[in-house]
A and B are shown apart, each in its own frame.
Chain A
Amino acid sequence: MFRVKVLIKRRKTILDPQGKAVEIGAKHLRLNNIKNTRIDKYIEFDVDTKNKKAAEEEVNDYCKKLLANPIMEDYEFTLEEV
């Protein structure tokens, strides 16, 4: 079995209203050096197979078809045998 950690990031060219709003909070905290806050997604799950290649294929499928929207997001992941 593999433990998978996926990071999904919205492309830099696409506005992240949440990141922008959170950064206003940083200004209120007088954390004046904080810049370019982006709020992305981190997802964990397991893949129940012994075959690493098969696991990677399934994760790619999951990411491309459902977890990320390829029009606006990129993803990266790590696999760890557990």
Chain B
Amino acid sequence: MMLSETKSASGGKLPKFGVVVFPGSNCDHDTYYALRKILGFEVVFLWHKQSALDNCDVIILPGGFSYGDYLRTGAISRFSPIMKEVISFANKGGYVLGICNGFQILLEAGLLPGVMIRNESLNFVCKDVYLKIENKNTVFTRGIKDKDTLKIPIAHGEGNYFTDDDTLQRMEDNQQIVFRYSSNNGSTSNTFNPNGSVMNIAGIINKKGNILGMMPHPERSTDPVLGKTDGSLILKALANNILN
């Protein structure tokens, strides 16, 4: 595969991804497939009851309905044994990507600010959306050339991101809003907001820049057979950026 450019200067190592499997995760295999079969990266599953992160360079909290979404989405998984290690890894600057339910878990764990509430429409929304890349200077987006919007599907019932005005302002000042729901040419009007998220927020990063949470599923937009591959741009950018 065309991966030679992702080799690091320090020994030609490709990044190793770890996909955490919680009871009720259902995008873990899709994420594994996208990373391994489509992009050719090294990837392992990490069972939520283990505490070792197996020397992974990136930890992915995948989509799904961990613990049946009981109590609040992500609220119970946040206390799974592996999360203690993930939090410590993240606090030391390790790269963590939370997708959909993974994003909800990151919010519950306090690794990212804000909360997720039920979609404004009360409907489960499953469709392709466009995301405007608001910050191209993160480890997850740097190097995405020629595109200001990405076509990536969403599939969630609780993706209505909310936070208070002060936090929003702080996030804007620090350029922590990475993706916003938009039209294909980047208009972020309310018409293109699928769930009621404040400011059309689809993905945010922590201030330090190593933890990204996003509701859309990049792993579902990697295989050309499915007619869209913009998600691979994020995963490839991440792999390239952490090795350089």
A-to-B contact residues, CB < 8 Å: 14-15, 17-18, 21, 65-67, 69, 71-72
Report chain A residues within 8 Å CB of B225: none
* Interface residues of chain A: helix, strand, loop or mixed (majority): helix
Contact of B120 with A69 in the complex, beta carbons under 8 Å: no
- Considering the chains assembled together, what is the distance between the CA atoms of A20 and B225 in angstroms? 41
Within B108-137, the residues touching A (CB, 8 Å) are 108, 114-115, 117-122
Does the CB pair A17–B115 fall under 8 Å?
no
Bound-state CA distance A5–B119 (Å) is 29
Chain B residues in 8 Å Cβ range of A21: 122
A15 touches B196 (CB 8 A): yes
With a cutoff of 8 Å between Cβ atoms, the chain A residues found around residue B48 in the complex are none
What residues on B are CB-neighbors of A15 within 8 Å? 117, 120, 160, 162, 196
- Give the docked Cα–Cα distance between A67 and B119 (Å): 21
In the complex, the answer to whether B196 meets A71 with C-beta atoms within 8 Å is no
> How far does the alpha carbon of A66 sit from the alpha carbon of B71 in the complex, in Å?
9
Set of chain A residues within 8 Å of B119, measured between Cβ atoms: 17
Query: Taking the complex as formed, is B75 at the interface, i.e. its CB lies under 8 A from any CB of chain A?
Result: yes
Interface size on B, residues (CB 8 A): 18
- In contact, A14 and B122 (Cβ under 8 angstroms): no
Q: Taking the nearest CB of chain B, how far is it from the CB of A37, in angstroms? A: 13
**Does A14 lie within 8 Å of B71, measured CB to CB?**
no
Q: How far is the CA of A65 from the CA of B71 in the complex (A)?
A: 12
A66 engages B118 (CB within 8 Å): no
| Given pairs A14-B117, A15-B160, 8 additional interface contacts (CB within 8 A) | A14-B115, A14-B162, A15-B196, A17-B122, A18-B118, A21-B122, A66-B79, A72-B117
23 residue pairs from A and B, CB less than 8 Å apart: A14-B115, A14-B117, A15-B117, A15-B160, A17-B117, A17-B118, A17-B121, A17-B160, A17-B196, A18-B118, A21-B122, A65-B79, A66-B71, A66-B75, A66-B76, A66-B79, A69-B72, A69-B75, A69-B108, A69-B115, A72-B115, A72-B117, A72-B162
